């Protein structure tokens, strides 16, 4: 592998990490602190439902796109899984949304 490819892979890995971090931070809403206990309980329940829905959707997309050729692999660290999915994105013509949901499913 040439040095240029290492730099490109490093840049792509960094971009994916920033993308995932930005998505995680976008979900944190700090408004409405006056009703914090009630809001926190409602938000926690809603967050768990949203997380479950995203996991189900990620699994559905994994089965539709990846499951044709692969069984679900064993757990890998999130960084390694992001690299694997990024490489498979081209072969399986995954959209950004597919890639994000599958990554979230595979790393939970």
What tokens does 18 get? Answer: 């920033």
Q: Flag whether 32 is in a domain.
A: no
- The span from the CA of 63 to the CA of 72, in Å, is 9
Q: Where in the sequence is the domain holding 100, given as residue range(s)?
A: 47-108
Task: Give the total number of structural domains in the chain.
Answer: 1
Q: Flag whether 27 is in a domain.
A: no
CA distances from 35 to 2, 28, 43 (A): 56, 16, 11
Maximum CA pair distance of the chain?
56
Question: Does position 24 have pLDDT exceeding 90, yes or no?
Answer: no
* Total residues found in the chain within this entry: 108
Q: How do residues 28-66 score in pLDDT, each as one tens digit?
A: 444 444 544 555 556 667 778 888 999 999 999 999 999
DSSP three-state, residue 27: coil
Segment holding 56, helix H or strand E? helix 36-61
């Amino acid at each position: 592998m040439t040095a240029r490819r290492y730099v490109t892979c490093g840049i792509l890995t960094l971009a994916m990490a920033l993308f995932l971090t930005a998505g995680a931070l976008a979900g944190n809403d700090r408004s409405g602190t006056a009703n914090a206990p009630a809001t926190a309980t409602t938000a926690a329940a809603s967050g768990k439902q949203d997380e479950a829905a995203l996991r189900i959707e990620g699994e559905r997309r994994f089965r539709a796109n990846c499951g044709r050729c692969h069984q679900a692999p064993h757990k890998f660290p999130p960084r390694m899984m992001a690299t694997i999915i990024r490489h498979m994105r081209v072969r399986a013509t995954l959209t950004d949304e597919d890639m994000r949901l599958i990554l979230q499913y595979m790393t939970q």
